[in-house]
Structure 1
């Protein structure tokens, strides 16, 4: 319960007035002992306890009547979702999570969480006439005055989006806004408590707490949590898209949020340049990754399309968009001296039957500069580069290229990207270095989309050089030393393998390991040419360049023209065509725990409200002052009844000379 006029609660002190009057009246009478009075006291001793109880009840009713009147004057409210204390605020700043995950519906519900949040805010603001409402939504991040709570559900700034949310940034914007806006303010946050939206480890929360605490009048915070169990839902995501000759290769992931292990048959619709085709996908478990090839019509060098599944618990995660351009040859570069290793690497990087793949070998002794135009991946079986060559490789990696370094034949003290090679070590006579463990979910040795593992357990070596430095180890020898390490740059990756595809070193030249590793490197490097057609909503790449406009090309769903900058789909920017998809973080189902959320506002006046309702029925603040007025009348009426004189036994006795009724 809260109060619109809490200062009037000081009137509760008036409830002590009847008690004070009673005590003062007792002091006005003196007790005089009189012998004849002893007989009267003895006669009334049995009824004294009842009289005292009656007087106490009368006094209690008078005090409660005054207290009820004072409470009614303070205008009490009962709020189930949002509430306020300390008086009516001059300003409410609403931080609204408009991310794609907010479109999920609660279990057994039909209304998305975003709409539920807006209805709760409207209901809570119904009694705050004259309070200014400012909206800061997660998509635009800009403060906007809302003329009335009634329009919250109809303005474009509260509509559904395919963006992600960053609550720390929103809270920081609110603090900046309140710095320039004096008065009594409250900050309301409406969110589904998705952990990726809150990012509790973000250092920005420290500055947010400091900024809010330093305001002349510290605002109160109200967090409306719309977490909890969601309706059954399947989501589709495009992991990668690349053109391979006359077909488009799409890597797809479908997930579902329930714990059931029963297989689900899901119709998958592929739309390419307006032509639709449907196939069935069997989803067993909670996650299913697979590859789909879509034939490209010979007359269409460029185009776009999307994959879609039926609508369910969240309508924002049922489609994934793609686009493509003219076919480009996939060129790789091999830096290695002539020999057995160079021969095997040439075959693995551009095997027969792989359309459009070529490889060029360079002798490391003849490299003065690198021409990396159009190169997807580099295989480096030589000492680590230095000087201008190293600078060229860094630019190549930052632009999305892939480089795989193999342990060189000769010793070298050179270092690249904070990595270097150790001296050669050899196994004991009659024994091998064996690959013992590797990451099955990440890296060049990860399992395939269908779950098939790379047979890396067959790999054996008699000679090795260990990668040393700041790289992340993804595979280890049986003695725990690193076999495969990586260094991530801006968009690309440098890989380090502690062996050579040379049988005097190991059996790495066997196709079991070398072929999948090489092809994955080439495919990953070629993505930097296809990424010109893909971007994530809200990223820098998804924004028009200076002088470009924006046109939505697809007709999936029900696009909102005023909201198209925040919606996934096929967008044209001048001469460029981009397929924009929701951020991957929006498919993360992890929620922020209550203790962690409260810790973000440590030292601030923050209150959390958890709403697990599934309807938009208003359940906000309800006035209670009428109930307290009725209670006051009841107390006063009870006091009056208790004050009525009680009939004595003498009044019931028959008058002299008059017969009894007995």
Structure 2
């Protein structure tokens, strides 16, 4: 509960006036013993306790009536969004989910995001001297909002085609709360509660809880849960676009939600190739339909771009998917290290026989300083750490977009030399009859992410007898069952270096079985080769988006007439930057409607208050004034006190006739 005029609560001391009057009345009467009254007093002793209780009850009702009257004048605010500690609030930090799913329109008129500004404004109209700040999921920066009514028109509050990472946003909010010293602060999280945005399995949550609790004045966390979803929805995605014998081959996936899976349907679709649009009809059945479409190309056309779109529904951002196509470049993979079991396995995993577009080389006879890295997509380095001359070449290679996978050497001691601030410790051996097991890995993004059909890679099948722990600062991509890092990543420029903590040798682990190593190397090779391709497919606001200090990305597709203007940071489409053409799409996780339950939220944020918000409600408000309720309480107390003060009805005296 909060109050519009909390200073009036000082008047609650007036509730003691009935008690003071009662005590004064007792003090001004002196007791005089009168023998004639002793008999009557003894007769009344049996009912004295009941009368005393009645007097105390009347006194309590008078006190409560005065307190309720004072509280009514302070104009209390009630609502499921506020708790008892909201009065005297100095600042509200609004954490806004701007992911694509927030553009859903359950009432067919307003999007979920459109519901937030009027809710915030109506609430701030009831708060005095409170500052509003915004932390949005796209820029991940904090913006001071001059007035709540300005929130609706700000660019940093608009829905994007990107995703959201709520735990990372809260982690970024903590330094601001530590430095701002705003006093009493609340964090309001406005989200559609989509699981992909909340990332319940993220290891960041434990750190967020600890750091919030450690603040000098721990903020209250309140969640504006916008759980409404359209009754039905279709979404489309292009999983692959490739050239095969002069034809463009598109692999499409259409998801249906809210439809009868046993009822097939025909849906029109527009397919645009180099801004030439053709219509077609797709046969859909079940919850998911996978379709391969082949489109003839002109003889001299081997690269280009396009999109596939469905008819608009109540969630239009997932009705379109963009793509680019070009001949797949050759992925050259350089393997450096001693020849032997590990080198042979790495070569086999990097370029499996029969898989086109891969070429692995192990130039053991060439001095490492003579390696030419300019044409390489991936470098695999195992054995002794690179020397100073090669270390500089590898750093330049990574900064220009290359990828390097480092594996430890086959010795018992650790390494003193660091690369990008990371080194290996001394070898550790698992206890007898036990193994180090991979327990968790980043399934949402990165090289170990789930497949396009949400199937995870079998990384949990990796077992190790020996390992070398990492030392330094890195991002954990996979962890052993004891919480230590199994695979770490350090980004530098446009590329990155990955560090494995075990070797593909059966005296070390079963890494050679390929559960983790094979998809890791193939995805790294594909990503490393993308810098040689004229066509790239990325995600909105991806860290790997092409950058330029002078040029601005130019929109290429003709779907922009029906799409909001923007940039690759917030809007899906086909863009050109310099000589690079690339497609930008929403994260496919935005197509997953799964939402976090209140029970799961209370595990992540135990003290959070959750309010279910409804879209399309007229005059929405998170709080309601309750002064009328307290006036009714005061009136009820006074009426009950008057009833208790009424004298008892006297028993009717018998008439003389009755006595006869």
Per the alignment, residue 79 of structure 2 pairs with 79
Residues 364 and 294 of structure 1: is their aligned pair in 2 closer, same or farther, counting only changes over 3 Å? farther
Contact 2:243 2:302 in 1 (8 A): no
Q: Distance in 2 between matches of 1:628 and 1:236?
A: 55
Aligned pairs, how many?
570
CA–CA distance in 1 between the matches of 2:565 and 2:452?
A: 37
Answer yes or no: is the 8 Å Cα contact 1:3–1:85 preserved in 2. no
Equivalent residue for 2:21? Answer: 21
Cα contact 1:163–1:538 (8 A) shared by 2: yes
User: What is the alpha-carbon distance in structure 2 between the residues aligned to residue 520 and residue 562 of structure 1?
Assistant: 30
Question: Against the structure 1 CA distance between its residues 316 and 71, is the aligned structure 2 distance closer, same or farther, given a 3 Å change threshold?
Answer: same
* 1:2 match: 2
Change (3 A) 1:128 1:349: closer
Greater displacement, 621-630 / 202-211: 202-211
Change in CA separation of 1:185 and 1:633 when aligned onto 2, cut-off 3 Å: same
| Aligned residues of 2:174 and 2:212 also touching (Cα < 8 A) | no
Please point out which of 620, 625, 628 is paired with 2:630: 628
Matches within 5 A, 1:70-219: 70-82=70-82, 85-105=85-105, 111-167=110-166, 168-173=168-173, 175-176=175-176, 179-200=179-200, 201-203=202-204, 206=207, 209-210=210-211, 213-215=214-216, 218-219=217-218
Contact kept in structure 2, 1:552 and 1:571, CA below 8 Å: yes
Give the secondary structure class of the aligned counterpart of 1:32. coil
Q: C-alpha distance in 1, partners of 2:41/2:392?
A: 115
Q: Does 1:316 align with 2:320?
A: no
From the superposition, tell whether residues 135 and 543 of structure 1 become closer, same or farther in structure 2 (CA, over 3 Å): farther
SS in 1 for 2:295: strand
Instruction: Supply the distance in 2 between the matched residues of 1:204 and 1:280 (Cα, whole angstroms).
Output: 43
Counterparts in 2 of 1:149 and 1:557: CA distance versus 1, 3 Å: farther
- Deviation per CA, 1:204-225, whole angstroms, max 9, x where unpaired? 862674367344xx15223314
> Is residue 6–residue 74 contact of structure 1 (8 Å, CA) maintained in 2?
yes
2:276 is the alignment partner of 1:272: no
Going from structure 1 to structure 2, the CA distance change for 1:15 and 1:376 (only over 3 Å counts) comes to closer
Tell me, in whole angstroms, the C-alpha distance in 2 between the residues paired with 1:622 and 1:448.
48
Match of 1:291 in 2: 292
| Residue 536 (str. 1) matches residue 539 (str. 2) | yes
Deviations 1:93-139 (A, max 9, x none): 21111112323456x77643323333332232221144221112111
1:69, distance to aligned residue in structure 2 (A): 1.6
Going from structure 1 to structure 2, the CA distance change for 1:84 and 1:301 (only over 3 Å counts) comes to: farther
Deviation at 1:77, TM superposition (A): 0.9
Deviation at 1:195, TM superposition (A): 3.8
Q: Give the C-alpha shift of residue 91 in structure 1.
A: 1.9
Aligned-pair CA distance for 1:648: 6.9
Cα distance in 1 for residues equivalent to 2:151 and 2:451:
47
Alpha-carbon spacing, 1:31–1:584, altered in 2? closer, same or farther (3 Å): farther
Identify if the C-alpha distance between structure 1 residues 8 and 565 changes in structure 2 by more than 3 Å, giving closer, same or farther: same
Residues 155 and 366 of structure 1, relative CA distance in 2, 3 Å threshold = closer
**CA deviation digits over 1:623-650, x for unaligned, max 9?**
1123323433454455457657788789
Q: Is the 8 A contact 2:242 2:325 kept in 1?
A: yes
Q: Matches of 1:49 and 1:208 in 2, distance apart?
A: 54
Specify which of 568, 583, 586 is matched with residue 579 of structure 1: 583
Aligned to 1:305, what secondary structure does the other structure show? strand
Secondary structure at 1:542's aligned position in 2? coil
Q: Which has the larger radius of gyration?
A: 1
- Map 1:482-631 to 2 at 5 A: 529-530=532-533, 532-542=535-545, 544-554=547-557, 555-556=559-560, 558-561=562-565, 565-592=569-596, 594=598, 597-598=601-602, 600-601=604-605, 606-611=607-612, 613-617=614-618, 618-631=620-633
**Aligned counterparts of 1:399 and 1:292: Cα–Cα separation in 2:** 35
Cα distance per residue 1:204-260 (max 9 Å; x no partner) = 862674367344xx1522331426473333332333333345333333333345596
Structure 1 360/498 Cα, relative in aligned 2: closer, same or farther at 3 Å? closer
Query: Residues 631, 301 of structure 1: CA spacing in aligned structure 2 closer, same or farther, 3 A cutoff?
Result: same
| Aligned residue in 2 for 1:454 | none
Over 3 Å counting, the alpha-carbon distance change for 1:450 and 1:50 in structure 2 is: closer
For the residue of structure 2 that corresponds to 1:240, the secondary structure is strand
Q: What is the deviation of 1:189?
A: 1.7
- Give 1:424's aligned residue: none
* TM-superposition CA deviations, 1:310-334 (whole Å, max 9, x none): 3345322221111245x46758899
The corresponding residue for 2:411 is: none
Q: Distance in 2 between matches of 1:538 and 1:121?
A: 27
TM-score when scaled to structure 2?
Answer: 0.65
Deviation at 1:621, TM superposition (A): 0.8
Flag the 1:47–1:531 CA change in 2: closer, same or farther, 3 A.
Answer: farther
- How far has the Cα of 1:519 moved from its partner? 12
Separation in 2, partners of 1:360, 1:41: 111
Could you tell me how far 1:67 is from its partner in structure 2? 1.6
Specify whether residues 186 and 371 from structure 1 end up closer, same or farther in structure 2 by C-alpha distance, changes over 3 A only.
closer
Aligned partner of residue 35 in structure 2, secondary structure: coil
Structure 1 CA distance for aligned equivalents of residues 522 and 97 of structure 2? 41
Worse overlay, 115-124 or 129-138: 115-124
Asked if structure 2 preserves the Cα contact closer than 8 Å seen for 1:64 and 1:632, the reply is yes
Would the aligned equivalents of 2:194 and 2:596 in 1 still touch at CA under 8 Å?
A: yes
Residue by residue over 1:605-662, the C-alpha shift from the partner in whole angstroms, topping out at 9 and shown as x without a partner, is x432131534333142111123323433454455457657788789x999xxxxxxxx
Deviations 1:476-499 (A, max 9, x none): xxxxxxxxxx99997899999999
Contact 1:99–1:163 (CA under 8 A) maintained in structure 2: yes
Separation in structure 2 between the aligned mates of residue 97 and residue 400 of structure 1, nearest angstrom: 30
- Separation (CA, whole Å) in 2 of partners of 1:134 and 1:359: 53
Structure 1 residues 221-300: aligned runs within 5 Å? 221-226=220-225, 228=227, 230-231=229-230, 232-244=232-244, 246-257=246-257, 261-265=261-265, 267=267, 268-274=269-275, 275-285=277-287, 287-298=288-299, 300=301
Which stretch shifts more, 118-127 or 176-185? 176-185
**Contact 1:289/1:449, CA 8 A, preserved across alignment:** no
Structure 2 CA distance, aligned partners of 1:323 and 1:259? 31
Moved more, 202-211 or 233-242: 202-211
Q: Deviations over 1:587-608 (max 9, x none)?
A: 4555445565445557xxx432
Judge conservation of contact 1:18–1:62 (CA < 8 Å) in 2.
Answer: yes
Partners of 1:561 and 1:450 in 2: CA distance: 30
Partner of 1:463: none
Matches of 1:82 and 1:305, distance apart in 2? 49
Q: TM-score, normalised by structure 1?
A: 0.65
Distance between the aligned counterparts of 1:359 and 1:49, measured in 2?
Answer: 100
Q: Within 5 Å, give how 1:423-442 maps onto structure 2.
A: none
Judged with a 3 Å threshold, the aligned counterparts in structure 2 of structure 1 residues 222 and 6 are, in CA distance, closer, same or farther, namely: farther
Partner of 2:461: none
Q: Cα gap change, 1:154/1:86 in structure 2, threshold over 3 Å: closer, same or farther?
A: closer
Deviation at 1:545? 0.9
